[in-house]
Structure 1
Amino acid sequence: MSLLQPVEFSPVAVLFDMDGLMIESERALLECWREASTELQLELDDALWLSFVGHSDRVCRDLLRERLPEAQVQALLAGLQVRYDARVEAGLPIKAGVFELLALLHERGIPRAVGTSTRRPRALQKLELAGLLPHFDTIVTGSDVEHSKPAPDIYLLAAKQLGVAPERCIVLEDSAAGVRAALAAGMTPIQVPDLVAPDDEVRALGHRIVDSLLHARALIEPALG
C-alpha cells in the first residue's frame, strides 16, 4: 500500500492528537526546556526532550530521574513550568489546515475527538485559548486513563465516548507513541510529524505519513462520500 493512498473506508469518527499536531507547542516547549536547563547550568541536549514527545508527564519525569538527582529534576521542572505557562497564556500558534479540516468534518457530520497525553486542565486550557474546544464532541486526556500513549487507552476511551467502532476511526498524530497507540486500538493512523521525524522502525509500521494537515485532509476527504 502506498503511504499516500487515500483512506479506503468511510470513517465514523476522526480523532486528533493535540500538541504538535494541532497546536504549535513543541517548539515553544523545547525553547523553554533549553532556557530552564541553561539557568540551572545543566548539560542536557535537545535529544533528551525530543524523546519525551508523545508521552505522558509521568513518563517524562521518570526519564528525567534516570539522568538527574531528584532535586535537580524538581528545579528543572519548576523553571520549565513558569516559562511554559507564560507561553501558553500568551497563545500558541495553530498548525496550518486545522480549522479547514474540522470544518469539513463538521459539514459531513463526522464526530471529532481529541486524544492527548496532556493532563486535562492543561489540555482544556490550550484548546480553549486556541479556539479549538467548541469543535470537538469529546476530549480524552492523560488524566482520564491509567495508561497513556503508546497504550491504546486514550483512543479506545474516545471511541467509547463517541459510541463508534474503533476499527472505523481515523487518528491524526504527530508522534511515534501516538501512532502506536492508534494501531494498538485497531484504528487507522495518519502521521503528520512535527519535530521528530519517523525513523525506519516507525515507517515499517506501514501507516500513512504526510507533511501537513492539508495533505492529511486530501487522504480523508475522498472517503467521506
Structure 2
Amino acid sequence: MTAPRFEAVLFDCDGVLVDSEPIVNRVLLGMLQELDWVDTPLTREAIDHHFTGCTIRDVMTAWAAERGHALPADWMERFLERRNAALAAELLAVDGIHDTVAALHAGHQGRIACASGADRFKVEMQLRQVGLLRWFEGRVFSGHEMPASKPEPHVYLAAAAHLGVAPERCLVIEDSAVGARAGLAAGATVWGYCPQGHGRAFAGLPVQQVFSHMGALPGLLKA
C-alpha cells in the first residue's frame, strides 16, 4: 500500500465542513443594522469580508472601540441565541463532505481532526446536526480554548500534537485567509477550499492548492 502524502488531515469547520457562514453572516448583518452606532450602510459582502475566519467577539469589540461606543452588555448573548436558532433550522453540510471525511478517516487511520476558530459548543452542535461528529469525536479543537485564536497557529498545533503527528506532516483544509495563515504558521501544508473556484481569498499566501468541490479531495490526495 502506498503511504499517504500526509499523516493527518486537519479541517476548519465553518465553510469547510458545514455551510454555516451565509446563515451566521445574515443574522450578524441584521443585528448590526439594529445598532445605532453603525453609521455606514452595511452589505453582506462587507460582513463576509470583515468577519469570515475571525471571531465575532474580537471584531465587534474592535468596531465598537473605533466608533467610541461600548458593545451592549447583552449583545453577544442575543447574537448567540439568534445564531444558534438559525443554524438549527437551516444548517447543511458542505456538498460532498460526508464521503470525503469517511474516506480520509479510513485512509489516515483516524488521524483527522476539526480545528476551528469558533466556540466548542457551536462546532460540536453543527457537526452533530449534519451527521459528521462521529468522525471527529474527541478530535475537535476550538480557538476559544487556546492562548490565541486564528490567525495564530495554536489550534492547529494542538490538533497535530493530539494526533501525534508533526505539523509538517499535516494537511490543513481552510476556506479563509485568516485560517490559512494559522495553518501556515503552524508549519502545515495548506490547501484552500473555494467553491467559487477563483481562490482570491488566498491571494499572496503560499497555499499549495485550491479546489472547488469537497468530493475531489480524496482523489487529489492520491494524485
For structure 1, list consecutive stretches of 5 or more residues without a partner in the other structure.
Answer: 1-7
User: How far, CA to CA, are the matches of 1:195 and 1:84 in structure 2?
Assistant: 25
User: How far, CA to CA, are the matches of 1:200 and 1:135 in structure 2?
Assistant: 28
- SS in structure 2 at match of 1:157: helix
Partner of 2:124: 124
Shift of 1:71: 4.5
Q: Which one of 12, 19, 30 corresponds to residue 14 of structure 2?
A: 19
Change (3 A) 1:40 1:48: same
TM superposition score normalised by structure 2:
0.83
Partner of 1:188: 189
- SS in structure 1 at match of 2:173: strand
Partner of 2:178: 177
Partner of 1:205: 206
Partner of 2:114: 114
Shift of 1:61: 2.6
**Identical residues among aligned pairs (%):** 29
Partner of 2:99: 100
Do the aligned partners of 1:14 and 1:110 also contact (CA within 8 Å) in 2? no
Change (3 A) 1:82 1:206: closer
Q: Which runs of structure 2 are paired with 1:31-110 in the superposition (5 Å)?
A: 31-40=26-35, 42=38, 43-46=41-44, 47-71=46-70, 74=73, 77-108=76-107, 109-110=109-110
Query: In the alignment, residue 159 of structure 2 is paired with which amino acid?
Result: A
Do the aligned partners of 1:174 and 1:194 also contact (CA within 8 Å) in 2? no
Shift of 1:130: 1.9
Change (3 A) 1:62 1:193: farther
Do the aligned partners of 1:192 and 1:210 also contact (CA within 8 Å) in 2? yes
User: How far, CA to CA, are the matches of 1:36 and 1:77 in structure 2?
Assistant: 10
Shift of 1:67: 4.3
Cα deviation 1:148-172 (Å, max 9, x = unaligned): 1111111010000111111111111
- SS in structure 2 at match of 1:51: helix
CA-based RMSD: 2.7
Aligned residues: 215
Query: In the alignment, residue 52 of structure 2 is paired with which amino acid?
Result: V
User: How far, CA to CA, are the matches of 2:48 and 2:19 in structure 1?
Assistant: 16
